[in-house]
């Protein structure tokens, strides 16, 4: 017997069933529900197929509370999930350049120890970006010692008119419910994906940045024969990074962005994923609200600082 239906797919369940060891309770995420039985994914990633005739009871259970996150680890993980066109290490700092496209791809990530006094490290950062014809820019977590040190050295807010960027996180169990739309996942984006992802010409460096992660996929939704929503997912360890989510203006307000995130989360579950993050401007209230509804919570926030010596 089973009290679970297809609407429970993607949610946490407990299934009591007969096994060689007697009655056993299995807790995990319901991945499939067929007439002959269930497929449940345990927290360790293992998928269990349970015959319907072996099940004595099954029901949905509440989602697990969101655990605290290692912010320092996540700070680095976000960079590895979307590598820049060029990356150079200065000790543990990442110096990134991508022909000027996006702040993330053209800023130093001051994570860890640069192996030099900060003032000397900053001089090398400035030289690196001068060599690439770019302003020396740093992506800093707010409230960290390095943010204060850079400001003491004369670095200033690069985007004073913009809000903070929120890095939000949750577990896949919170966001891998069945999407309301069919999601198409591909290993490489095609021209239609890029056309939906960008409002105008695609920057020449964008494919290098978006497609260079070791394990990345590209999601899309087609409505009435038109590709109307896209997103990108990249795996770094057990983390799924979600970015490049865009819905065509005429189709906004239909939960398409949420469906893209859910589709990517369901793909990540098959890759050993357990947690997920994304980045969003705090001023984008509609997106922040949608992500909070999906179960995302703020991990930290960041801003860009720029050297005033240039």
Q: Provide the token pair at 69.
A: 């996150």
**Does residue 80 lie within any of the structural domains?**
yes
pLDDT(309) > 80 = no
**Does residue 84 lie within any of the structural domains?**
yes
Number of domains in the chain: 3
**Does residue 75 lie within any of the structural domains?**
yes
Residues 175, 296, single domain; the answer is yes
Segment 46-69 mean pLDDT: 85
**Does residue 273 lie within any of the structural domains?**
yes
**Domain residues for 118?**
71-162
Rounded CA-CA distance 196/273 in Å is 27
Q: Provide the token pair at 58.
A: 């099954």
Q: Which residues contact 72 (CB under 8 A, 6 or more apart)?
A: 111
Residues 193, 296, single domain; the answer is yes
pLDDT(256) > 80 = yes
Residues 45, 93, single domain; the answer is no
Instruction: Tell me what percent of the residues of the chain surpass a pLDDT of 90.
Output: 76
Residues 283, 260, single domain; the answer is yes
Q: Which residues contact 63 (CB under 8 A, 6 or more apart)?
A: 11, 12, 171, 173, 174, 295
Give yes or no for a contact between 114 and 93, defined as CB atoms under 8 angstroms apart.
yes
Judged by DSSP in three states, 97 sits in: strand
pLDDT(2) > 70 = no
Residues 157, 258, single domain; the answer is no
End-of-domain residue from the set 60, 90, 106: 60
Q: Which among 100, 8, 92, 98 has a CA at the least distance from the CA of 58? A: 8
Residues 136, 205, single domain; the answer is no
Residues 83, 198, single domain; the answer is no
Note the pLDDT of residue 209.
Answer: 97
pLDDT in tens, 228-242: 999 999 999 999 999
| Pairing state between β 239-247 and 275-281 | parallel
**Does residue 310 lie within any of the structural domains?**
no
End-of-domain residue from the set 139, 162, 185: 162
* Summary mean pLDDT of the chain: 93
**Does residue 1 lie within any of the structural domains?**
no
* Longest CA span, the chain: 72
Question: Whole-model pTM?
Answer: 0.83
Q: Which residues contact 262 (CB under 8 A, 6 or more apart)?
A: 10, 175, 176, 177, 178, 179, 183, 294
| Alpha carbon 31 to chain centroid, angstroms | 21
Note the pLDDT of residue 44.
Answer: 62
CATH code of residue 35: 2.30.30.100
Residues 129, 253, single domain; the answer is no
**Does residue 309 lie within any of the structural domains?**
no
pLDDT(5) > 70 = yes
Residues 55, 122, single domain; the answer is no
Segment 111-128 mean pLDDT: 96
pLDDT in tens, 159-179: 999 999 999 999 987 888 789
CB atoms under 10 Å from CB of 255, counted, come to: 17
Segment 112-122 mean pLDDT: 96
Note the pLDDT of residue 43.
Answer: 66
Residues 12, 80, single domain; the answer is no
Segment 35-51 mean pLDDT: 82
Residues 139, 264, single domain; the answer is no
How sure is the predictor about 66, in pLDDT bands with cuts at 50, 70 and 90? confident
Residues 47, 174, single domain; the answer is no
**Does residue 194 lie within any of the structural domains?**
yes
pLDDT in tens, 272-307: 898 999 999 999 999 999 999 999 999 999 999 999
End-of-domain residue from the set 19, 35, 60: 60
């Amino acid at each position: 017997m089973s009290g679970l239906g297809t609407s429970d797919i993607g949610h946490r369940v407990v299934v009591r069933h007969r096994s060689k060891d007697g009655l056993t309770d299995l807790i995990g995420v319901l991945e499939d529900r067929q007439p002959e039985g269930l497929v449940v994914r345990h927290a360790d990633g293992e998928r269990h197929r349970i015959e319907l005739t072996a099940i004595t009871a099954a029901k949905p259970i509440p989602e697990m509370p969101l655990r605290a996150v290692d912010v320092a680890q996540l700070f680095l993980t976000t960079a590895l999930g979307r590598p820049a066109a060029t990356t150079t290490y200065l000790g543990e700092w990442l110096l990134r350049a991508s022909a000027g496209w996006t702040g993330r791809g053209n800023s130093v990530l001051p994570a860890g120890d640069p192996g030099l006094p900060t003032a000397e490290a900053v001089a090398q950062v400035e030289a690196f970006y001068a060599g690439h014809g770019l302003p020396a820019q740093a992506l800093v977590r707010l409230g960290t010692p390095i943010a204060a040190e850079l400001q003491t050295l004369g670095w200033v807010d690069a985007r004073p008119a913009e809000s903070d960027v929120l890095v939000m996180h949750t577990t896949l169990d919170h966001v891998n419910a069945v999407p309301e739309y069919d999601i198409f996942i591909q290993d490489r984006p095609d021209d239609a994906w890029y056309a939906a992802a960008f409002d105008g010409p695609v920057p020449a460096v964008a494919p290098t940045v978006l497609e260079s992660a070791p394990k990345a996929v590209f999601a899309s939704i087609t409505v009435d024969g038109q590709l109307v929503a896209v997103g990108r997912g990249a795996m770094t360890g057990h983390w799924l990074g979600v970015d490049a989510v865009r819905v065509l203006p005429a189709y906004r307000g239909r939960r398409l962005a949420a469906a893209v995130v859910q589709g990517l989360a369901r793909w990540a579950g098959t890759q050993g994923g357990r947690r997920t993050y994304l980045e969003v401007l705090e001023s984008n209230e509609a997106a922040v609200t949608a992500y909070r509804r999906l179960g995302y919570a703020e991990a930290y926030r960041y801003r860009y600082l720029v050297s005033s010596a240039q």
